[in-house]
Structure formats: structure tokens, C-alpha cells
Amino acid sequence: MQTLEVGILGATGMVGQHFIKFLQGHPWFKLTWLGASDRSAGKVYRDAMTWHLAGGLPDSVADLMVEDSKPGNAPKLLFSAMDAAVATDIERAFAQAGHVVVSNSRNHRMEQDVPLLVPEINPDHLKLVPGQQRARGWKGQIVTNPNCSTIVLTMGLGPLKQFGITRIVTTTMQAISGAGYPGVPSMDIVGNVIPFIGGEEEKMQQETQKILGEFQGDHIEPLAAKVSAHCNRVPVVDGHTVTVSVEFSSKPTESDVRHAFDVFTALPQQRGLPSAPPRPVIYLEEANRPQPRKDADRDRGMAACVGRLRACPVLDYKFVALGHNTVRGAAGAAVLNAELMRSEGMLDR
């Protein structure tokens, strides 16, 4: 397949750096354009930011010039890691100008005509795009990926949707890397738990209903299940853990639920997309797994791990799920979205 040039909006930020790292050596996408604010524009990348990730700044981007975030000479496909305070207007301007904006920012996720995509769970939600382009008069488009804790929950629930999910209660233990850089002050988080992350519980509740909802022509009919989320920041570096209690209308047996986890595979695996993990959901047998330090990096951080499936005395079943928040919850999620879109022919039109 011919290599496609791609760019990053918000390239100097924390998520922008994760995009740069994840795209190194990508077989389909070649990173040639970096955008940020006018504070960074006109500088070479190495002078425009401080590199925070392990492994050092890749040579291939160190001397690229950072551009202003205005449509002009950017490639058609852009990954967005823009500050949410400015992402709405800038992403729209690029979509209007014909760019395909694959965004990690929260700004457009809940808009009726914007796909909130998890390629293994709801690839058909991409059917919203033609209506988005018609209604907004855009030649381009915006497609989003979920919040970093929502994606872990929905990958755990995706294999179980077939049983008719009616109620979900979930509690997160979220890593500090999810708060960006410099993130949470060390005096607040070392040896401590912070039982509040602004806006996170609402995002988990609403995004989960949309992701597990049904495409209905011009919108997504949200899953009718009630979702209650408790979100906590814990002193873990990478990997969000979520505990899940879930109720089903069809009352499956425990072995039905376990079988559903074990056999789960989806379109990205069938199509062999470059960033698709061989098994999107890995069930771990050990009673004390998954654990962030041991399991978050599985399959380059693209697989979700689940475990501890058991009966729930309040709802029907409970289990634990884990995913890498800056990979499957951010850069890797958006890159997989773009791979799915390319495999659908959406980047060639």
C-alpha cells in the first residue's frame, strides 16, 4: 500500500509526543507535518518543546519546522492532540478545508454527526461521515476516539453487548500519565488516591452509551443502559484499571460470558490493520491480574486485558479491565481509527 503523508495538530504537547512515538516506522503513514500554537510555529521541533517520553526524540522529526495550526500546506490526514480550549474551531477549520481530522480531543466526541470510534466495537459508526459532510458543507471530516478510561470500559463490554446490557457500575483507577505534563502535583498523588477527575465520570457515562449505541441513519441511538462511573487518580504511571459490574437482559451463564471474551475478534483483526492487536481483549486467568505494571504494554499497549470474571450479588457479573491510557486511550486509538478509515477507502476519495 502506498505511504500516506500525515500531520499532527498539537504536536508539541504530551499527546502529540505520543503520536510521534507511535507513528515511528508506521507502514502506511509517514509523518511530515507538525502543527502547534504561534508560540511554537517557525521553530524546529527540537527547539519548540521539551521531549518527555522514554527513548529520546526521534531524529526524523527533530529538525521538522513547526507550523501554525491553519489550513494551508498540511497533508490531508491530520491527527489532532490539540488543547481542548482551542480544538473546536481549529479542527473545524481543517475539516472545512478538506482535511480528515482524526482527533483525540474531547471537543467533538458527543456531536450527533461525529463518529466516536472504537474500531473493534462500532466500525459502522463511520457511516455518520457522509451526513456530517453534507450538513456542515465540509469536504473533510472529523472522527474522534474516546476518553482514555471510556475506551478500557467499552473494550471490556464490547464482547458482551450481545447479551443485552441494561446497567453498568464502574470504578476507575487512573494512571497519572493521563493527566498530561506536568500533571498532578507529586505531593497530591504519591502514596495517595484522589477520588475526583473533573468531567471524567460524565464523559465515561455518555461516551459509553454512544459507543455501544446503534447507527440510525443520521445519528447514533445511545445504548439504553444506565451507566454509573466513579473515577479516581492513583499513583500508577501508565495503565488505567477499571472494575465493572454489569447487568444483562438475556441472563447469560458465566461460561457464556467467559466464552464471549475468549472468542472476541473484530474487523481490525480480520483486515490485519497494522496497529490492530492480534487479540483485542485478552482474558487473564490469574486471580490477581490484570495489573498495570505487568499488563498495560501488551501488544504495544493496543490490547485490553480483562480478568476476575465472577458473579455479582447486585448486578449479574463483575470483572476487571485494563488498558494503556496513552496508547490505546490516546495516540494508538486514533492511529487505528485512521487505519480503519483507510481500509474503508475513506482517505483516498
Name 2's Cβ contacts closer than 8 Å, sequence gap at least 6: none
Nearest Cα to Cα of residue 114 among 206, 78, 103, 83: 103
Q: Which residue in the set 57, 58, 83, 291 belongs to the binding site for ligand NAP (CB under 6 A)?
A: 83
In angstroms, rounded to a whole number, what is the distance separating the alpha carbons of residues 180 and 158? 27
Stretch that binds ligand NAP, among 81-89, 165-173, 279-287, 312-320 (CB under 6 A): 81-89
Nearest Cα to Cα of residue 264 among 303, 232, 224: 303
Query: Cβ closer to ligand NAP: 169 or 333?
Result: 333
Q: Which residue in the set 6, 14, 165, 212 belongs to the binding site for ligand NAP (CB under 6 A)?
A: 14
What would the grid cell of residue 2 be? 502506498
In angstroms, rounded to a whole number, what is the distance separating the alpha carbons of residues 7 and 77? 7
305 catalytic residue (yes or no): no
Query: Cβ closer to ligand NAP: 39 or 226?
Result: 39
When asked if residue 13 is in the footprint of ligand NAP (CB under 6 A), the reply is: yes
What would the grid cell of residue 167 be? 446497567
When asked if residue 178 is in the footprint of ligand NAP (CB under 6 A), the reply is: yes
Q: Which residue in the set 26, 32, 37, 75 belongs to the binding site for ligand NAP (CB under 6 A)?
A: 37
Neighbours of 272 (CB within 10 A): 10
> Residues touching ligand NAP: how many (CB under 6 A)?
29
Query: Cβ closer to ligand NAP: 12 or 132?
Result: 12
Residue nearest to ligand NAP (CB): 13
When asked if residue 15 is in the footprint of ligand NAP (CB under 6 A), the reply is: yes
CB of 217 to ligand NAP, least distance (A): 30
CB of 80 to ligand NAP, least distance (A): 8
| Residue 30, strand partner residues | 5
In angstroms, rounded to a whole number, what is the distance separating the alpha carbons of residues 56 and 45? 13
18 catalytic residue (yes or no): no
CB of 296 to ligand NAP, least distance (A): 13
Q: Are 53 and 101 in contact (CB under 8 A)?
A: no
Stretch that binds ligand NAP, among 75-83, 226-234, 239-247, 258-266 (CB under 6 A): 75-83
Q: Which residue in the set 31, 81, 160, 284 belongs to the binding site for ligand NAP (CB under 6 A)?
A: 81
Query: Cβ closer to ligand NAP: 308 or 324?
Result: 324
Q: Are 277 and 270 in contact (CB under 8 A)?
A: no
CB of 145 to ligand NAP, least distance (A): 9
Which amino acid is it at 138?
A: W
Set 99, 240, 305, 324: catalytic member: 240
Q: Which residue in the set 16, 119, 140, 146 belongs to the binding site for ligand NAP (CB under 6 A)?
A: 16
Report the interhelical angle of 129-136 vs 84-96 (nearest 10°).
80
When asked if residue 326 is in the footprint of ligand NAP (CB under 6 A), the reply is: yes
Neighbours of 308 (CB within 10 A): 18
Sheet holding 226-230, edge to edge: 226-230, 165-173, 240-248, 317-323, 304-311, 281-284
Q: Which residue in the set 40, 144, 149, 150 belongs to the binding site for ligand NAP (CB under 6 A)?
A: 40
In angstroms, rounded to a whole number, what is the distance separating the alpha carbons of residues 96 and 76? 12
What is the Cα Rg of the chain in Å? 19
When asked if residue 114 is in the footprint of ligand NAP (CB under 6 A), the reply is: no
Set 108, 125, 148, 231: catalytic member: 148
- N-terminal to C-terminal alpha carbon distance within the chain: 15
Catalytic residue numbers read 148, 240
Residues that bind ligand NAP (CB under 6 A): 10-16, 36-37, 39-40, 69, 81-84, 86-87, 90, 104-106, 148, 177-178, 180-181, 326, 330
